[in-house]
């Protein structure tokens, strides 16, 4: 996918600007057909899930994470240059926190642990800065 909106959307996601990511990628999604369309929709939904989570809308977060993960499942372990295997596993952890919050638990989280989208074959730990395959 050669579109600047895709790259900017990934930058917005990784910068924790989830609403802006949603806007950019949704704009691209409207212009996209074929297999990429469902992939983009999954990314949009995960981004919206984090937006909801950080605004304490755990029901909205759980819904968007579930829908987004369902769409991204068919694109693992990587697609369009992005590593999705580990990314989706990390999103599942945030889904579990959102669901726990719906049962009355108060989520304890460090915003810096929100997963980022990385090039396939490369994952950089936010805490240690180390790169692992």
* Each residue's pLDDT tens digit, 67-94: 999 999 999 999 999 999 999 999 999 9
Report how far residue 4's alpha carbon sits from residue 28's, in angstroms, rounded to the nearest whole number: 9
Q: How far is CA 24 from CA 68, 107, 112, 133, in A?
A: 16, 29, 22, 29
133 has a pLDDT exceeding 80: no
Mean pLDDT (whole number) for 25-38? 95
Nearest residue to 46 (alpha-carbon basis) of 70, 28, 26, 64: 64
Q: What is residue 1's predicted lDDT score, i.e. its pLDDT?
A: 58
**Domains annotated on the chain, with CATH:** 4-132 (1.10.3450.10)
Residue 123 has pLDDT above 60, yes or no: no
pTM strictly above 0.85: yes
């Amino acid at each position: 996918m050669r579109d600047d909106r895709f790259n900017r959307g990934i930058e917005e996601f990784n910068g924790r600007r989830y609403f802006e990511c949603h806007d950019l990628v949704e704009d691209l999604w409207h212009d996209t057909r074929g297999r990429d369309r469902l992939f983009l929709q999954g990314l949009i939904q995960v981004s919206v899930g984090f937006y909801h989570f950080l605004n304490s809308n755990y029901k909205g977060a759980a819904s968007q994470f579930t829908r987004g993960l369902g769409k991204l499942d068919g694109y693992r372990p990587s697609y369009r240059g992005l590593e999705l295997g580990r990314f989706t596993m990390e999103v599942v952890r945030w889904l579990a926190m959102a669901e726990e919050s719906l049962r009355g638990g108060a989520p304890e989280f460090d915003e810096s642990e929100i997963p980022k989208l990385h090039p396939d074959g490369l994952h950089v730990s936010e805490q240690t800065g180390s790169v692992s395959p």
